[in-house]
Structure 1
Amino acid sequence: MNAHTQEVTRLPSLAGGGNVMAIVPQTFEETFRVAKAVYLGGLAPSALIGKLEGDAAISAVTVAIMSGAELGLKPMVALRSFTVINGKPALYGDGLINVVRQSGKVAYLRTGCETRDGQMVGWCEAKRNDTDEDKRVEFSQEDAIRAGLWQTEAVITKWNKWDKKNEQKPNDSPWWRFPQRMLAWRAAGYCLRELFGDVLGGIRDEFEAREIADAEDMRDITPRQPPAPPMPPAPPSPTVEDANVVDVTAEEQPAEEQIDTAAFFEELEEALSGAMDEATVEEIWTALDPEGTFDGDDLNLDIAHKIKARRLAQINPVNGG
């Protein structure tokens, strides 16, 4: 028997069978270690971490794992089920259904979408097996239209902040691509949060959370135009002597340049979203110069400062909060 054969025979035999068990962290430190491994391994969902990097991205993964643990989800299942919107965890539509099903409190849970009188209607019906409560909720195409969610155009106009112009782009909204699924998931979100509120613990579905975040952003940064200055008093009627005098000192003043405040704020927020530290935030702030742009316009300057403060808070929650 040669040396190679002897070496092979010393290897332990492989054992088969056994149950596969998930690694479930028990402390914050263990959770952070798992989140770091997920991030460094490139397994963190891009929808979860967005443009975050380093410890900020690891923290986002940690929050998702912790939020999932509170609902009984294993770490990797939580990462597939959760997203973070404006710093708040939210469940995808299928994640919401998954959490409720795993609770063991479901007698039945059904979702779907049907057509009535030419209109699509999404629905969800469920029943608890511990209290025998049941519920059916519908969310129709008309509801989506009234809420400003419905999409009917294959091509939409989007602002190109780099070229400073509007461009025609394919509509990538899920309400355009998957209207039936969106109607059913919206119905499920309302139905399950009402019937299984104890199971979900106040967690919203992704779509409702995103709409709330968009509404909050619009309220925070919608440009507020300052009131128009009072009109100057009318000049006195000229006398006969004045009519013979030519005013050679008055010059025609050019019209004041109008600032597209909405486009400016969009550009500022987009630029700051790529900043990962306070120094970069200050560089972008200096380059775009909101102080000079809104010199004398305290209302819109205050909005610009709020956008900056919000980004700083996202970068450093302890100091920014």
Structure 2
Amino acid sequence: MGNLTKTTGFALAPQNLEQAMQLATMICNSQLAPNNYKGKPEDTLVAMMMGHELGLNPLQSIQNIAVINGRPSIYGDALLALVQNSPAFGGIQESFDEDTMTATCTVWRKGGEKHTQHYSKDDADTAGLWGKQGPWKQHPKRMLAMRARGFAVRNQFADALAGLVTREEAEDMEKEINPTPAPQAQSKRIGQKQSRTQYSESDFNENFPKWKAAVESGKKTSEQIISMVSTKGDLTQGMIEAIESIEAGEPA
């Protein structure tokens, strides 16, 4: 892999793009890589590069950053940790109103005014998120809290987050449509499979009960279901987690 500069602990810092890609390839092919990075050196490299901007080593980066639809995003808990490490961080208060199903997050910079963001069940319903298969159905309160936190923190600490959105928010964004390839690129694809598309939400919701029954009866594992469905289209991280939760015994 060439010479790498050793930083803190066992973190290795590649010195050029070639070394970075070699490290990304090694990581994404290891058992340590999260499912959404396995066999994806390009996504792994993007996560490593963004993590470096935030002061994270490569392994911290892939554990806390997710590349969703080609855009790096960060898990809600890691988002808060980055902000709390900012010299400008003043404080944060979070609450949840069970009666109105509203999450509230208030953050402030040192010496600055408090900024409050609310996100309710009605907001999620308006956005077409409430009851959506996956985390919104399994953990609705946490998803409301993460959305309120994401908006509040990004509004006050854009400098500390380098433009990152929460992974939870990125997963709910519509998948960007690839532009029409140039004629030269199209000619190279003759006899090859067309570019993959995202597995549709409607098909996922229709087939999920069948997959759940297959896993619970022991006929299939969650990993086998994910592998099978992935041949028909790219699964979002939320879809993957929903399937994995069946075997984990988490409430649907």
- For normalisation by structure 1, the TM-score amounts to 0.50
Q: Cα offset for 1:132?
A: 2.4
Counterparts of 1:87 and 1:182 in 2: how far apart (Å)? 22
Q: Cα offset for 1:279?
A: 5.0
Residues 1:46 and 2:10 aligned together: no
State the one-letter code of the partner of 1:98. Answer: A
Please tell me whether Structure 1 or Structure 2 has the larger radius of gyration of its CA atoms: 1
2:213 is matched with which residue?
A: none
Aligned match of 2:22 in 30, 33, 58? 33
Whether the 8 Å CA contact 1:106–1:127 is kept in 2: the answer is yes
Counterparts of 2:124 and 2:21 in 1: how far apart (Å)? 39
2:151 is matched with which residue?
A: 190
State the one-letter code of the partner of 1:123. Answer: T
Aligned match of 2:120 in 129, 135, 140? 140
Aligned match of 2:165 in 204, 210, 217? 204
Q: Specify whether residues 26 and 196 from structure 1 end up closer, same or farther in structure 2 by C-alpha distance, changes over 3 A only.
A: farther
Counterparts of 2:63 and 2:121 in 1: how far apart (Å)? 28
1:125 is matched with which residue?
A: 106
2:11 is matched with which residue?
A: 22
Q: Specify whether residues 102 and 28 from structure 1 end up closer, same or farther in structure 2 by C-alpha distance, changes over 3 A only.
A: farther
> Which ranges of structure 1 fall in alignment gaps of 5 or more residues?
1-18, 152-170, 221-276, 285-310, 312-321
Counterparts of 2:72 and 2:190 in 1: how far apart (Å)? 25
SS state at 2:160 partner: helix
Q: Cα offset for 1:186?
A: 0.1
Counterparts of 1:110 and 1:188 in 2: how far apart (Å)? 10
2:51 is matched with which residue?
A: 68
- For normalisation by structure 2, the TM-score amounts to 0.63
* 1:1-321 correspondence runs (5 A): 20-49=9-38, 53=39, 57-115=40-98, 118-129=99-110, 131-151=111-131, 172-214=133-175, 216=176, 279-281=191-193
State the one-letter code of the partner of 1:136. Answer: T
Identity %: 31
| Count of aligned pairs | 181
More displaced stretch, 105-114 vs 60-69: 105-114
Whether the 8 Å CA contact 2:90–2:108 is kept in 1: the answer is yes
Counterparts of 1:88 and 1:142 in 2: how far apart (Å)? 27
Whether the 8 Å CA contact 2:28–2:37 is kept in 1: the answer is no
> Which ranges of structure 2 fall in alignment gaps of 5 or more residues?
1-7, 180-188, 197-233, 235-252
Whether the 8 Å CA contact 1:48–1:82 is kept in 2: the answer is no
SS state at 1:67 partner: helix
Q: Specify whether residues 29 and 105 from structure 1 end up closer, same or farther in structure 2 by C-alpha distance, changes over 3 A only.
A: farther
Q: Specify whether residues 31 and 193 from structure 1 end up closer, same or farther in structure 2 by C-alpha distance, changes over 3 A only.
A: same
Aligned-pair Cα RMSD in Å: 2.9
Q: Cα offset for 1:89?
A: 0.9
